[in-house]
């Protein structure tokens, strides 16, 4: 459920008309609903209320400071994957003890940064990384709490670019070698082994692969405890999918996910962490764009809009589907036409949808992409020298620009011309 509904013939974000935001901010822009972000965080938090837990929002999905502050105030922890994300989380007021550090390529500088600023745990993904962290922590006289991310070799049944739990993926250590690697970790100075981490992929629309992975983690917990490791925390990753296409079957709900966790690992008495990103932010955001031209091609109509692949890369990169709707509510029973919906960037890959059936719109109309709150703004670039588009946060009847659109000068002045030119 989200908080983007037609009211009085116009799409609203909570109590604010999208057209009013467009008048003030100018298209294209991202807009997020505080109520939806709050609701989605609470769904996960409630789904785990049967045990000691922390929902660590995977901030790669949407790392705007305002979004982080909102979630942090609700009690969220953060899952970070770079020094930049760590600094963003700290800047938004998230205490180190609520930040977990994931990722296959943490540098020594990033490790130092997190150890200095405080960290809940590192999710270690390889033996070389484990040795590096041991060295860094020891040199600082610190002890780094760690879990080791295991790769359970489970098919997440999602897009190949976002599946992470198969043995051919770069993530984690093979679960078959876990016993050996944990023994090595326990013997290294500067590390304290506290648990196990697993994350098998993103946009999972079935519970079954999670179940398979959690079974393997439960079994491993027993094996490692028998070896003398004090396994007291399980980080079960993120990955629960969202309904991009309303006509498709809805993916499982956080409550069902929470029940599965309870069923599979509840008996172990571990503290549970999860790292959802998409389900918290995805349906909490729209990308709003203005139609520049309707162009008649040989055999099709192109809707050329002022947003492009640089603003929302998901359709070009993953063939992802986003529902695209007019901001002015179509009349009931309005005719349906077909458009190829494209942006102004100079490549054919800049196509959001082909032969999309929707009510007719005219140049100057606003359209909204649903489910654009996760992996939208964060993946944007300035390709074709298109300045990053603004982000807006709505709270009931108020809205605020939470990232302003840079001017052309601001964009250009980030470059420097060397003295010899």
The count of other CB atoms within 10 Å of the CB of residue 232 is 15
147 binding ligand LLP? (CB under 6 A): no
CA 316 – CA 30 distance, rounded (Å): 18
Lay out the site mask for ligand LLP across 299-338 (x = CB under 6 A, - = otherwise).
---------------x---x--------------------
What is the spatial distance between Cα 346 and Cα 354, in angstroms, rounded to a whole number? 17
Query: Is 238 one of the binding residues for ligand LLP (CB under 6 A)?
Result: yes
Q: In whole angstroms, what is the distance from residue 245 CA to residue 321 CA?
A: 7
Q: Which of 72, 251, 258, 276 touches ligand LLP (CB under 6 A)? A: 276
Please report whether residue 391 would count as binding ligand LLP according to CB under 6 A: no
- Shortest Cβ distance from residue 94 to ligand LLP (Å)? 16
Looking at 346, 357, 417, 421, which residue is catalytic?
Answer: 346
Asked whether the beta carbons of 215 and 196 are under 8 A apart, the reply is no
Rounded to the nearest whole angstrom, what is the least distance from the CB of residue 392 to ligand LLP in the complex? 21
Instruction: Closer to ligand LLP by CB, 42 or 295: give it.
Output: 42
Answer for which of 14, 125, 273, 275 binds ligand LLP (CB under 6 A) is 275
Q: Interface with ligand LLP includes 254 (CB under 6 A)?
A: no
Please report whether residue 162 would count as binding ligand LLP according to CB under 6 A. Answer: yes
Confirm or reject binding of residue 278 to ligand LLP (CB under 6 A): yes
CB of 298 to ligand LLP, least distance (A): 32
- Footprint on residues 72-111 left by ligand LLP (CB under 6 A): 79, 102
Is 278 known as a binding-site position? Answer: yes
- Dihedral, CA of residue 87, residue 92, residue 95 and residue 97, to nearest 10: -60
Nearer to ligand LLP, 28 or 326 (CB): 28
DSSP assignment string, 183-223: HHHHHSTTEEEEEEE---BSSB--SHHHHHHHHHHHHHHHH
| Residue number with CB closer to ligand LLP (28 or 277) | 277
Q: Is 384 left (phi over 0), alpha (psi -120 to 50) or beta?
A: left
Point out which span in 23-31, 234-242, 247-255, 291-299 binds ligand LLP (CB under 6 A): 234-242
How far apart are the C-alpha atoms of 321 and 2, rounded to whole Å?
18
Q: Nearer to ligand LLP by C-beta: 304 or 353? A: 353
Query: Is 314 within any annotated ligand binding site?
Result: yes
Q: Which is nearer to ligand LLP, 152 or 239 (CB)?
A: 239
Out of 237, 285, 326, 390, the only residue in the binding site for ligand LLP (CB under 6 A) is 237
Q: Which residues pair with 368 in a beta bridge?
A: 288, 325
- The set of residues, in sequence order, having a beta carbon less than 8 Å from that of 25 and lying 6+ positions away, is 390, 392, 401, 405
Task: Sort 249 into a burial class: Cβ within 10 Å, 0-12 / 13-18 / 19+.
Answer: exposed
Q: Answer for the pair 260, 39: CB distance below 8 angstroms, yes or no.
A: no
Q: Is 275 labeled as ligand-binding?
A: yes
Candidate segments 47-55, 62-70, 199-207, 354-362, binder of ligand LLP by CB under 6 A: 199-207
- Judge whether 393 and 66 are in contact, CB under 8 Å: yes
Q: How far apart are CA 201 and CA 65, in angstroms?
A: 25
Catalytic, 56? Answer no
Count of Cβ atoms closer than 10 Å to residue 222 Cβ: 11
Query: What are the residue numbers of the active site?
Result: 346
- Residues belonging to the binding site for substrate are 278, 314, 318, 347, 375
- Residues belonging to the binding site for pyridoxal 5'-phosphate are 239, 275-278, 375
Q: Which residues contact ligand LLP by CB under 6 A?
A: 58, 61, 79, 102, 162, 199, 202-203, 237-239, 275-279, 314, 318, 375
């Amino acid at each position: 459920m989200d908080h983007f509904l037609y009211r009085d013939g116009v799409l609203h974000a909570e109590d604010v008309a999208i057209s009013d935001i467009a008048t003030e901010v100018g298209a294209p822009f991202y807009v997020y609903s505080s109520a939806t972000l709050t609701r989605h965080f609470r769904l996960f938090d409630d789904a785990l209320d049967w045990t000691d837990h922390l929902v660590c929002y995977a901030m790669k999905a949407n790392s705007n400071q305002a979004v982080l502050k909102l979630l942090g105030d609700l009690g969220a922890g953060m899952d970070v994957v770079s020094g930049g994300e760590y600094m963003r989380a700290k800047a938004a007021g998230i205490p180190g003890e609520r930040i977990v550090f994931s990722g296959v390529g943490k540098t020594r500088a990033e490790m130092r940064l997190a150890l200095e600023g405080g960290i809940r745990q590192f999710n270690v993904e390889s033996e070389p990384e484990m040795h590096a962290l041991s060295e860094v922590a020891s040199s600082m006289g610190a002890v780094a709490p760690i879990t080791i991310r295991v790769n359970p070799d489970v098919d997440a049944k999602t897009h190949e670019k976002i599946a992470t739990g198969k043995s051919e993926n770069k993530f984690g250590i093979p679960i078959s070698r876990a016993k050996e690697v944990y023994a090595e970790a326990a013997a290294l100075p500067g590390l304290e082994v506290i648990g196990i981490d697993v994350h098998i992929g993103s946009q999972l629309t079935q519970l079954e692969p999670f179940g398979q992975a959690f079974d393997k983690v439960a079994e491993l917990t027993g094996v490692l405890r028998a070896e003398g490791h004090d396994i007291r925390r399980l980080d079960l990753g993120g990955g629960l999918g969202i309904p991009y296409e309303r006509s498709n079957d809805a993916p499982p709900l956080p409550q069902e996910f929470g029940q599965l966790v309870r069923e599979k690992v509840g008996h172990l008495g571990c503290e549970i962490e999860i790292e959802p990103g998409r389900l918290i932010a995805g349906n909490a955001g729209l990308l709003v764009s203005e139609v520049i031209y309707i162009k008649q091609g040989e055999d099709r109509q192109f809707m050329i809009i002022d947003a492009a692949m640089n603003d929302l890369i998901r359709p070009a990169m993953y063939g992802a589907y986003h529902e695209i709707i007019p901001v002015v509510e179509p009349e009931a029973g309005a005719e349906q036409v077909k458009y190829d919906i494209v942006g102004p960037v100079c490549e054919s890959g800049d196509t959001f949808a082909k032969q999309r059936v929707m009510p007719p719109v005219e140049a100057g109309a606003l359209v909204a992409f649903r489910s654009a709150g996760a992996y939208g703004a964060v993946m944007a670039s300035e390709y074709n020298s298109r300045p990053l588009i603004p982000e807006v946060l709505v709270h009931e009847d108020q809205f605020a620009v939470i990232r302003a659109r840079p001017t052309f000068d601001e964009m250009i002045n980030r470059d420097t011309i060397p003295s010899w030119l």
